[in-house]
Structure 1
Amino acid sequence: MKLPFLGPLGDEVSLWMDASPAEVWDLVSDVTRIGEFSPETFEARWTRGSTGPEAGAWFKGHVKRNGVGPTYWTLCRVTHCDPESLFEFSVGSSQVTVNNWGYRLEQQDGGTLVTEYFRLEPALPTRIYWTLLGPLRGRTNRRGMRTTLERMKAVVES
């Protein structure tokens, strides 16, 4: 399932992996393993009674922005959960979504093309933030997505 064009408030990075969509799915949908892969989110856990990946499930991610500085927890909700195809979650609160992150999996050339993406919500505060810090944050996000995918590739291909 293709999602709408990300536009100026989002971006994506793709990497081919020599593994089946099922094998990659096990990594991208298990949020408790994100600390192995992400340079910013070093742990996550299911919360609010959720125990695994399904639409509507909640989890919290423990983040250290840019890998330095103070840490904080973010509340996330799974918004799309199509096994071996699409895993997406929103970040924010129960009432407000700030941004969305996700993984698209496409079987390709005997392996899987994995695309990690983010898409900020178009609310005015987010647009102002992105106008001021977007180029810098966008580069950081692209580097982080690339690092995350490369680390997943190393695990799934080993």
Structure 2
Amino acid sequence: MDHSDSVEIAVAPERAFTAIADLASMGRRSPENTGGEWLNGGPALGAKFRGTNTHGASSWSTIATVTEYNPPRYFAFEVKSKAMRISRWEFEITPTSTGCRVEERWADHRNSLLRRAADASFDRAEFTKESIRTTLDRLKDELEGASRPE
């Protein structure tokens, strides 16, 4: 299962990229992720980070590895549990005449057994679709609101 969505934001691509790679601030935007911290000096290709998440009464953390890092255009990471791939997240930033377009993509790499067990209480794919939309809308509001003159 994969999902992607995008939003036009009236800021420079560099500004959007910096906000996306700022793990601690993601908690302000995401309905599930509550933030993150770099474990080995990131952001950079190959850097690892711990992301913290909450959904309902459940909380957990994951370790992710940056698989692509190309400021200000592309940021991607993979989440694994031991040797098992869980998901891949990508952010692609494209310049536009009024700022940039940010596309967020999610690919579910869980095997069918893990997917059934983990999704028993809610539909992960549907939730993630809504979560991506919310995250992008909040990113737009945050960046455009911050860039407006006083």
**Shorter-chain TM-score range:** 0.7 to 0.9
Cα-to-partner distance string for 1:84-119 (whole Å, 9 max, x where unaligned): 111011111352221101111011232111011101
Query: Is it true that 1:156 corresponds to 2:143 in the alignment?
Result: yes
Partner of residue 80, structure 1: 68
Q: 1:40 to 1:122 in 2, by over 3 A?
A: closer
The corresponding residue for 1:3 is: none
The structure-2 alpha-carbon separation of the partners of 1:74 and 1:122, relative to structure 1 and needing over 3 Å to count, comes to: closer
- Measured in 2, the distance between the counterparts of 1:33 and 1:74 equals 17
Question: Which residue of structure 1 aligns with residue 50 of structure 2?
Answer: 60
Q: Deviations over 1:64-88 (max 9, x none)?
A: 12xx112011111111111011101
- Unmatched runs of 5 consecutive residues or more in structure 1: 1-8
Per the TM alignment, residue 154 of structure 1 is displaced from its structure 2 partner at its CA by: 1.2
Aligned counterparts of 2:12 and 2:107: Cα–Cα separation in 1 = 26
Answer whether contact 1:21 1:106 (CA < 8 A) is retained: yes
Aligned length: 143
2:26 aligned to which of 15, 34, 40: 34
Tell me the residue number matched to 1:6.
Answer: none
The residue identity in structure 1 corresponding to 2:19 is L
**1:142 corresponds to:** 129
Rounded to whole Å, the distance in 1 between the matches of 2:2 and 2:68 is 17
Q: Which runs of 4+ in 1 moved over 4 A?
A: none
Q: Is the 8 A contact 1:100 1:119 kept in 2?
A: yes
Q: Structure 2 regions of 5+ residues with no counterpart?
A: 146-150
Which residue of 2 is the match for residue 5 of structure 1? none
Q: CA deviation at 1:52?
A: 2.2
Q: CA RMSD in A?
A: 2.0
TM-score (norm 1): 0.82
Q: Which has the higher strand share?
A: 2
Aligned to 2:90, which of 90, 102, 107?
102
What's the TM-score once normalised by structure 2's chain length? 0.86
